[in-house]
Homo-oligomer: A and B are copies of this chain.
């Protein structure tokens, strides 16, 4: 199996995990099937779409219908196995984290290929990974979880910095990608495991 086939498969897994997270949120809000599909799709492709609009390239999903199909499969599975989903919470977390890591690496790679500087690439990697969840929360009219709950986006930024360091040291491309992805995965899993959170801002009235 070639490297790009491997990346493609991991990307599909990530899309699937992100779509599931959007569809489950929509189910909690009792959206209809169409609404659930749209929220799932927006969660899965929202980050990459904003990235591609900012980079002024054709949004990635407009060249391959697999992302729409995977979201449809995710919807079917949520409908069929609704009551058993909670049991797979850990599996979803792992899929979601692998997907996140790959989305970050894809976002960085794509920006560097287009000759943007590394700090733009890190922002684009973070957007690719984290913006889908923000769109999901806006669509279901909730405060974006990402701004309060855990260090999801910080994991993206940490992975980006690992990429930067490895890249600056002239390390081989594939190794750099693996290190950056490992950085995202490690930070995310450790944050969930050890309940790491970022400090909260206090409002001006508090002591």
Contact = CB atoms under 8 A, between A and B. Distances in A.
B202 A27 contact: yes
Q: Which 3 A-B pairs have the closest CB atoms?
A: A35-B147, A27-B201, A32-B198
A101 interface: no
A189 interface: no
Contacts of A29: 143, 147
Given A59-B54, A62-B54, A147 B201 contact: no
A199 interface: yes
Interface residues of A, number: 56
A101 to B, nearest CB: 18
A142 B82 CA distance: 26
Interface string A128-161: 0000001000111111101110010110000000
A83 interface: yes
A152 to B, nearest CB: 9
A30 interface: yes
B154 A34 contact: yes
Contacts of A79: 201
Contacts of A28: 203-204
A31 B203 CA distance: 10
A69 to B, nearest CB: 10
A168 to B, nearest CB: 16
Given A56-B56, A65-B119, A116-B62, A201 B36 contact: yes
Contacts of A78: 201
B147 A204 contact: no
B86 A204 contact: yes
Contact of A31 (B36, B58, B83, B147): B147
